[in-house]
Structure formats: C-alpha cells, structure tokens
A and B are shown apart, each in its own frame.
Chain A
Amino acid sequence: MLTRWLTALFLCLLPVGAWAHLTPNSEVGLAVGRSHIEATIVIPLGELAFAEPALADLGRRPLDADARRRIERYLHGHIGATGPDGRMWTTRVADSVVTHAAPPDLEATVILTPPAGASARQMRLRFDAVMDKVPTHFALVYLRHDFDGGYLSDQRRLLGGLRRDNAIVAIDMGARSAWSGFAAAIALGAHHIAEGHDHLLFLFILLLAAPLRAEGRRWQGYAGWRNTLRSLVSVVTAFTIGHSLTLIGGAAFDWRLPAQPVEILIALSILVSAVHLWRPLFAGREALVAGGFGLVHGLAFATLIGHIGLDRWQQALSILGFNIGIELVQLLVVASVLPGLVLLAASRFYPPAKNAAAAFAALAAACWIVERASGQDFAPARAIDALLGLAPYAAAPLALLGAAAILIRRFTAASRTS
C-alpha cells in the first residue's frame, strides 16, 4: 500500500525543462551599404521601460514629436561606431515606431556613417541600450544584407552578441565587389522561383493550354507546333513583362499591397488558369492574362528584393539580377516541359492528361486560398507543396511519355495502312 502510494506521488512531478530565457533580448540588424550602414534596432518595449522610466509611456499613445526626440536622445547615448583607425562614425536616427505585437517592441532605424574616406565595411559597433540598467539583457547582432559582399539571403546571419560587460562587437565585412551582389541577386531570384511553387504552377498551367485550339467553350485539338511555340513565347514574355513591372515598382518605388491579398490573388490566378485549361475562358488572350496576373506575382517578388541595397545602383542591380534569376528558371522550366508537351499534345492522351493537371492545379489553388485566407497552416496545402517539390523529376518522364505517344500513334497508323 505504502509503495503504491509512493509511486502515485511520482505522478505529481511534472516533466521539467529549463526555460530560463527569462527576459526578451534586443536585436540589431545591419544592412551594409557603400557609404553607410543601416542598423535596424528592435528593443522590447517592456524592457526599455524597465530600464528607462522616461520612456515608459511609449506604448500608450501614438509617437509624437516629443516622444521621437526622447527616443532619439536615448539611442544616441546607447549606439555608436568607430572605424579601425579609432575615428568616430556619425549616428542618425532615421525612424522609430512602436509595433503592436504582443509584447510590443520599439523599432528604430539608425544610420551609421563613417568619416570621409573611410570604408563602411569595418567598424566596432557599441550598443548597450537597456543592458546598462538590466544586467541580464542581451542584444543579438546580425547581418540583414550586404550587397557588395554577396549576402542577400532572407535568412539572417549572426554576427555577434552583446551584454553589459561585452557591449562592443567588431564587424568586418571583408572586401567589396558589386559583382558578388549581382550574382547573389541572380541566385536569390532563381532560388525564390524554384521554391515558389505557386508561381511555377501558374506558368505551367498556362503553358499546358498553349498547344490547344479552342472552338467556342471547348478545346478541340492540337494547334500545331508553330502556334504552340508562338503561344509559349507570348505567354512567357507577357508574364515576364508583368512581374518585372511590379517588381521594379515595388522594389524601387515602394509600391505596396498587403501581403495577404497578394498571396490570395496569386492562388486565385492559378485557379483561373486551371479552369481555363479545363474549358477555355480566355482562348487567344492567354498572354494578356499571363501579363495581368504577372503584375500580381511581381508584387510578391518585390517584398523579397525591395529592401535590399542601400543606394539606387545596388537596388537596380538587385532587381536586375533577381529578375534574371527568375527568367533563367522560367526558361529552364519551359525547356524541360517543351519536348514532352509538343510530343504529347497531338496525342489522344493529352485531353485526360491536361484535365488531370487542371484538376490538380485547381485543388492546389483551393488549398492555398484556404491557407492564405485563414492565415493558418493547412495540412493539404503543405502536402501539395511537398509534392510540387518533386516536380522537376517529372520533366523526363513527361518527354518519354510524349515520345511513347508518338510511337503508338505511328504504329497504329502503320497497322491500319497495312
């Protein structure tokens, strides 16, 4: 009885595990330009209020000029930089906002500029906001992007950590080269579209309609290789023009739409093209539709590349490189799909194959719409994404299938003749 009771006591011992990450930390994200460094500083508002009572009112009302002045004064006292030669850099608080996250943060942009003639690629950064009063406070320093160093990833790269007794970090971004930034932008564009299944699926579904000839509300057969090629070129070109326009507008002129409706519209574009593949909705005007929806896809691309590059030249090279990366992958997709498409399109297998593709695309689009509208992970959408990750492996079987279809047709025709 006693033993059973002692065993039962063990039940009351919950599994334990240290959280011990007891106070939220600050972050300093650096974007390295040619003439200056842009530091994006995030300080948990509660920690700031705890350390600096004079700023305790920040989250309670919109920031007015007085609040901004107080923030500026505070930050000036807690951030600074010196070059390798010991000369001080100038510091300017360019912007500050209080986020409405839970818990809220103070987000500020500080421009750090080296003295005339000094490089912006080496410095010793000092940041001790909050930690001068709260000894447990920690600040994470990371790289947002460095165009000339070829670092444009959307993943942050850790550079250092700061604490009260260790509030200075040496930053050395190495030698600079505009070409490494350009090459990185190409790689980023290629990577983004290769991973962005929705963009490629939209294009792919429009390409599947290219070899078809419409009569009324029905697809009635193969349009011939010349028409197929013409249609392919016009769809790809129109899509490129469309997304390039908004990519340039978004990245260079800060055209913005909230991310959620843009993402939903992209899924909707796939749904529309899937229905069109099943029954022609806009036969002969695919290029126009590709261009129109390309505008929407471009806005999504712009969210990724828009913040990269601190001067016009870097921004222009980023956009150009990113776009070239996108085009390279698009051309690769067209080149992979084309042989199979041309071979298969004239066969009797094409109608069921394209209907199956339309059904799959419609299903994928519907799942993405649900996921993007709800803002919650939707398991079928995740499964479709995983499946589409395998899509490159389908190009060769598609070509083989097309070749097989041609052979079967010829064999059948020869049998009939004999």
Chain B
Amino acid sequence: MPRWRSGTVWPKRLLTGAIALALVTAAGVWLAPRDGASIDRTPSGAGPRSYADALARLDASLIGTRDLGRARPDEWLLDERLAHLLLSRARLTGRFEDYAEAQRVLDHAFLLAPAGAGPHQTQMALAFSLHRLFRTEAMIRAIEAYAVQPEYETRLELALTRGDIAFYRGDYAGALRTYRQAVADDGAGPPLRIANLLARTGQPDAALEMIDRYEAGAKLPTAQLLADLALRRGSIELQRGAWDEAGRQFDRAERLFPGWWLTEALQAQMLAVAGRYPEAVAAFETIVRTDACPECMDALASIHRAQGHRDRAAAWSARAGRIWDRRMAMLPEAALGHAAEHELAFGDVDKALMFARRDAALRPYGQSETTLAWALLAKGDAGAALRVIDRPIAAGWVSAESHLAKEQALLLLGRSVEAEAERSAALAINPRAGDATGSLIWVGH
C-alpha cells in the first residue's frame, strides 16, 4: 500500500496561506463593484463654491443689469443679458417665476430689436428649457437666416440643439446621428449630450464613461460643474437600482457644491428609499422651508402615505398641488409632465390623463409616453396604454418603468406570458424596479 511522506510542513502552510490571501485580494480588486467616480477632480478656484455663493453672484448681477436696463431702456442687448441671468437662476433654483420673467424680458427685447437681429440664442435656450420645441426650432431657423453667418461655436450649438429636439421627439438614432455629425469637424464630441442619450437607450456604463472622460478633460472645472457631473452619475445609478452608488455620488455633489437644494433633495430621497423616514422627512422639510419645491412636497406626501399618515400626506400633496396649478397657469408646457405625475399619485386621473396627453404631444419621447401609458392604465384603457408604450420601446428607449407599464397593460389584457417577459426586462434594467420604495422617488428621475 503506498505511503506518502511529507516534508517540512511550515513552508507549505505559509504558501497555502499566501495563495489564499492573494486570491481573495485579487478577486476583491477585480470584482469589487464600481466605487465612486474613477475620475475625482478637484474644483478650480473659478466660479462659486456653494449654492448660496452662486445665488448671491447671480442676484448681484441681476441687480446691476436691471439698473443698466433702466438707464438704457431701448437696448435689447441689455434685455437679453437680463434674460440670461434670469434663466441661469431659474436653472439653479427651479423657480418658474424666473423663467416667466425671462420670457417677458425677451418678448420686450424682440420688440426693440431691428429686423434680422434679436435675442434668438437666448430665446432658443429658454424655449428649450420650457419644452417648447417648435419655438426652439423657429429660433434655430432665425439664427441660420442671419445675413452674417454666426461663428463656429454658435453653429455647433444650433446643430446640437437640433439633436436635442430629435431626442425629445423620440428619434434617438437621429439625435445621436445629429450629435455626431455636428462635431465631425473637430471630433471633440458633445459628451454630456451623448451620455444623456446613452443613459436613456440602455448603455449606462458607456454614459458613465463619457461623463468620466468629460470630467477628466474639463479645463479648470468649477465646483458647480463637478457637482452637476456627480448628480448625473447618481441619476444614472438610481435608474439602474444601484442606490448605494447613487447615494455616494449625491454625497460627493454636496461636498463639492454644498447647499444646492437639488442635491439635498436627492440625498433626502436616498434616506427615504432606505426606509429612514424621519430623517428623510426632516431633510425634505428643511428644503421646502426655503425652496418652493413641489417635487419635494410630493415626496413628503409619499413618505407619509407609505407610513399610513393619511392627513399629513393629504396636506403635503395639496400644497404641492397648489404650486403645480400655479405653474400650469404660468408655463404649462414646462409643468405638464410633473403635474401629470402629481395627479396620478394624489389627484384626479382625468386631469392626469389630459396633462400626460398634452405633454406627450409636445415632447413624444420615452418619459412622457411612459407617463401617458400609466395614465391610460389608471383610466382602465390597457389597449391604448400598450399602443403608447410600444412606441418608445420600439424606438430604443430603455427604462425599467416602460417595461413595467407594458407588463401591466399586458396583464390587464390577459397576456400573462408576454407580461412575464416584460417584467424580466424591467428587472434586468433595474433590479429594484418592482420595489414598493419606487413610489418614494420623485426627484432626479
């Protein structure tokens, strides 16, 4: 019978231990989930360092520009400058009043401007922000008809805006083509626009890579820019259910550019989805004390509703509803999508359907069509919902929510086998898509 003889034992033990340790370490390094941005730039000294600082600078510029405007009331260029600043502040604060004033100022500027000139570029940006795609296109055409061709940067921006319009009309392939054609000359690419498109068409990793590249190549990046990039990464992670990573990105944004209500709302939302309701409520309440953020109020209503606090939920949703009503009266195109979601969750299904239909008619892209499908489902019209939701899915829009809406429509039509496939598709995109905590997500989606 064969016998084995072992030599000295300790070297073998040490070797085995070392191999085991090496294997664990290597596996940990290779397989560890993505932990924060691979690029982590430090803000340059340029630009404001916090939300309060940014707001103070904008407020000061606005005061100065208003004074100048009063001194020279016939100069449309001063009106355009004022509109810029109002639009900048609106983008930062989300205040519809600033958008509305910017539009009034631009209307005045157009009255002053001579034929063939005027604040077309600013109007283009404002119209796009307000979801007025036809007006945006009209401004592009007006600029292209200038007697003197605009400089390269402007022409590029016009072409890219055409890509944005294609995106919001549900033509994702056309949008990508337009972006790429627009930059074929210098090859620099519009990375954030392409990243946005990739994130919505099923390529989140490629989108994140583009954002990383953009951050790596940014010259003297401001704190606000870096925070914005972190929020973009966080939103992409949120949409694929990577909530821990999303939370890390939102925390990074807050460190880079503290005090921004949008970041704080996203952080509060992460507390809510983690089930830390009292902290989430406190954080949202802090935000709404200074910023009239109806999404935050809807989020508060959802948190209270999830806990069975009927009266508090009703109070917050009513408060949010009043703001959505005001916004609908002020700038309906810009408010339609959110107002439809508010009505779907807390209000009147008929109103929700009306808003969703109008929003999808103005911007027939994946998000508005998904909301329309939910509204049709709420009205009990599963057949119409299926027809609506099939469009963005066929066009290449990729979101778990679209597949969930389709799943629900199919189930209501008794097509459970096809519904299974849609549910699997939704969970493949976002494993948390079916979680009840999804109802607590109102911001940054």
Residue among B23, B121, B439 facing the most chain A CB atoms (10 A cut-off) = B439
Whether B438 and A346, one on each chain, are in contact in the complex, defined by CB atoms closer than 8 angstroms, is: no
Whether B423 and A103, one on each chain, are in contact in the complex, defined by CB atoms closer than 8 angstroms, is: no
Whether B380 and A218, one on each chain, are in contact in the complex, defined by CB atoms closer than 8 angstroms, is: no
Whether A12 and B370, one on each chain, are in contact in the complex, defined by CB atoms closer than 8 angstroms, is: no
Complex interface bits, B398-412 against A, C-beta within 8 A gives 1, otherwise 0: 010110110110011
When distances are taken between beta carbons in the complex, the residues of chain A under 8 Å from B345 are 22-23, 136
Whether A7 and B157, one on each chain, are in contact in the complex, defined by CB atoms closer than 8 angstroms, is: yes
Whether A15 and B199, one on each chain, are in contact in the complex, defined by CB atoms closer than 8 angstroms, is: yes
Residues from 382 to 404 in B contacting A, C-beta threshold 8 Å? 382, 399, 401-402, 404
Given known A-B contacts A5-B84, A46-B305, A380-B31, A15 and B232 have beta carbons under 8 A apart? yes
Min CB gap B400→A, angstroms:
8
B116 touches A (CB below 8 Å): no
Residue among B33, B349, B378 facing the most chain A CB atoms (10 A cut-off) = B378
A116 touches B (CB below 8 Å): no
Contact of B445 among A18, A103, A351 (CB under 8 A): A18
Whether B275 and A166, one on each chain, are in contact in the complex, defined by CB atoms closer than 8 angstroms, is: no
Complex interface bits, A7-43 against B, C-beta within 8 A gives 1, otherwise 0: 1111111111111111110000000000000000000
Quick check: which of B64-72, B87-95, B322-330 contacts chain A, the rest being far away?
A: B87-95
Whether A19 and B401, one on each chain, are in contact in the complex, defined by CB atoms closer than 8 angstroms, is: yes
Whether A359 and B16, one on each chain, are in contact in the complex, defined by CB atoms closer than 8 angstroms, is: yes
Whether A140 and B310, one on each chain, are in contact in the complex, defined by CB atoms closer than 8 angstroms, is: no
Contact of A22 among B24, B30, B344, B437 (CB under 8 A): B344
Min CB gap A374→B, angstroms:
14
How far is B401's CA from A392's CA once the two chains are assembled, in angstroms?
A: 39
B51 touches A (CB below 8 Å): no
Contact of B370 among A18, A53, A101, A160 (CB under 8 A): A18
Min CB gap B280→A, angstroms:
10
Complex interface bits, A196-233 against B, C-beta within 8 A gives 1, otherwise 0: 00000000000000000100001111111000000000
B203 touches A (CB below 8 Å): no
Residues from 420 to 445 in B contacting A, C-beta threshold 8 Å? 420, 423, 433, 436-439, 441-442, 444-445
How far is B308's CA from A105's CA once the two chains are assembled, in angstroms?
A: 10
When distances are taken between beta carbons in the complex, the residues of chain B under 8 Å from A162 are 412
Interface residues on B, range: 35 or more
Whether A24 and B157, one on each chain, are in contact in the complex, defined by CB atoms closer than 8 angstroms, is: no
How far is B371's CA from A277's CA once the two chains are assembled, in angstroms?
A: 60
A362 touches B (CB below 8 Å): yes
When distances are taken between beta carbons in the complex, the residues of chain B under 8 Å from A53 are 310
When distances are taken between beta carbons in the complex, the residues of chain A under 8 Å from B145 are none
How far is B416's CA from A159's CA once the two chains are assembled, in angstroms?
A: 6
Whether A140 and B438, one on each chain, are in contact in the complex, defined by CB atoms closer than 8 angstroms, is: no
How far is B433's CA from A202's CA once the two chains are assembled, in angstroms?
A: 36
Whether A382 and B31, one on each chain, are in contact in the complex, defined by CB atoms closer than 8 angstroms, is: yes
How far is B145's CA from A239's CA once the two chains are assembled, in angstroms?
A: 84
Q: Across the two chains, which residue of chain B brings its CB closest to A212?
A: B4
Q: Across the two chains, which residue of chain A brings its CB closest to B24?
A: A380
B289 touches A (CB below 8 Å): no
How far is B407's CA from A160's CA once the two chains are assembled, in angstroms?
A: 10
Complex interface bits, A159-174 against B, C-beta within 8 A gives 1, otherwise 0: 1111111100110000
Contact of A12 among B124, B228, B439 (CB under 8 A): B228
Whether A6 and B236, one on each chain, are in contact in the complex, defined by CB atoms closer than 8 angstroms, is: no
When distances are taken between beta carbons in the complex, the residues of chain A under 8 Å from B420 are 157-158
Q: Across the two chains, which residue of chain B brings its CB closest to A380?
A: B27
Whether A18 and B399, one on each chain, are in contact in the complex, defined by CB atoms closer than 8 angstroms, is: yes
B185 touches A (CB below 8 Å): no
Whether B344 and A136, one on each chain, are in contact in the complex, defined by CB atoms closer than 8 angstroms, is: yes
Whether B402 and A18, one on each chain, are in contact in the complex, defined by CB atoms closer than 8 angstroms, is: yes
When distances are taken between beta carbons in the complex, the residues of chain B under 8 Å from A355 are 12, 16
Given known A-B contacts A3-B157, A135-B378, A9 and B87 have beta carbons under 8 A apart? yes
Whether B1 and A224, one on each chain, are in contact in the complex, defined by CB atoms closer than 8 angstroms, is: yes
When distances are taken between beta carbons in the complex, the residues of chain A under 8 Å from B6 are 218, 351
Q: Across the two chains, which residue of chain B brings its CB closest to A51?
A: B310
Whether A18 and B371, one on each chain, are in contact in the complex, defined by CB atoms closer than 8 angstroms, is: yes
Complex interface bits, B29-53 against A, C-beta within 8 A gives 1, otherwise 0: 0111100000000000000000000
A280 touches B (CB below 8 Å): no
Residues from 259 to 317 in B contacting A, C-beta threshold 8 Å? 262, 274-275, 277, 302, 305-310, 313
A56 touches B (CB below 8 Å): yes
Whether A219 and B28, one on each chain, are in contact in the complex, defined by CB atoms closer than 8 angstroms, is: no
Q: Across the two chains, which residue of chain B brings its CB closest to A387?
A: B27
How far is B374's CA from A367's CA once the two chains are assembled, in angstroms?
A: 44
Given known A-B contacts A4-B153, A6-B121, A56-B310, A359 and B1 have beta carbons under 8 A apart? no
When distances are taken between beta carbons in the complex, the residues of chain B under 8 Å from A58 are 308
When distances are taken between beta carbons in the complex, the residues of chain A under 8 Å from B412 are 160-163, 166
Residue among A12, A20, A141 facing the most chain B CB atoms (10 A cut-off) = A20
B419 touches A (CB below 8 Å): yes
Min CB gap B314→A, angstroms:
9
Min CB gap B214→A, angstroms:
10
Min CB gap B354→A, angstroms:
15
Q: Across the two chains, which residue of chain B brings its CB closest to A4?
A: B153
How far is B426's CA from A195's CA once the two chains are assembled, in angstroms?
A: 24
Min CB gap B192→A, angstroms:
7
A272 touches B (CB below 8 Å): no
Whether A15 and B306, one on each chain, are in contact in the complex, defined by CB atoms closer than 8 angstroms, is: no
Min CB gap B116→A, angstroms:
17
Residue among B193, B199, B231, B411 facing the most chain A CB atoms (10 A cut-off) = B411
When distances are taken between beta carbons in the complex, the residues of chain B under 8 Å from A251 are none
Whether B408 and A19, one on each chain, are in contact in the complex, defined by CB atoms closer than 8 angstroms, is: no
B11 touches A (CB below 8 Å): no
B239 touches A (CB below 8 Å): yes
Whether B92 and A12, one on each chain, are in contact in the complex, defined by CB atoms closer than 8 angstroms, is: yes
Contact of B277 among A2, A102, A379 (CB under 8 A): A102
Whether B125 and A9, one on each chain, are in contact in the complex, defined by CB atoms closer than 8 angstroms, is: yes
Residue among B157, B308, B408, B420 facing the most chain A CB atoms (10 A cut-off) = B308
Q: Across the two chains, which residue of chain B brings its CB closest to A278?
A: B16
Whether A379 and B377, one on each chain, are in contact in the complex, defined by CB atoms closer than 8 angstroms, is: no
B61 touches A (CB below 8 Å): no
Whether A20 and B27, one on each chain, are in contact in the complex, defined by CB atoms closer than 8 angstroms, is: no
When distances are taken between beta carbons in the complex, the residues of chain B under 8 Å from A165 are 380
Min CB gap A68→B, angstroms:
17
Min CB gap A128→B, angstroms:
13
Min CB gap B87→A, angstroms:
7
When distances are taken between beta carbons in the complex, the residues of chain B under 8 Å from A59 are 307-308
Contact of B313 among A50, A166, A384 (CB under 8 A): A50
How far is B274's CA from A276's CA once the two chains are assembled, in angstroms?
A: 43
A71 touches B (CB below 8 Å): no
Given known A-B contacts A158-B420, A379-B28, A383-B27, A20 and B371 have beta carbons under 8 A apart? yes
How far is B256's CA from A339's CA once the two chains are assembled, in angstroms?
A: 64
B217 touches A (CB below 8 Å): no
Can you name 27 A-B residue pairings with CB atoms under 8 Å?
A2-B121, A3-B154, A9-B129, A15-B199, A15-B232, A16-B200, A17-B199, A17-B401, A18-B367, A18-B368, A19-B445, A20-B344, A47-B305, A49-B309, A50-B310, A58-B308, A102-B277, A102-B437, A104-B308, A157-B416, A158-B416, A160-B414, A160-B416, A221-B2, A346-B2, A359-B20, A383-B31
| In the A-B complex, the 6 residue pairs with the closest CB atoms | A102-B275, A161-B411, A165-B380, A379-B31, A49-B308, A24-B436
Given contacts A157-B416, A158-B419, 20 further A-B contacts (CB under 8 A): A3-B121, A9-B87, A9-B125, A10-B164, A10-B192, A11-B225, A11-B228, A14-B444, A15-B207, A17-B199, A50-B305, A103-B275, A103-B307, A158-B407, A169-B414, A213-B1, A218-B6, A222-B2, A351-B4, A384-B27
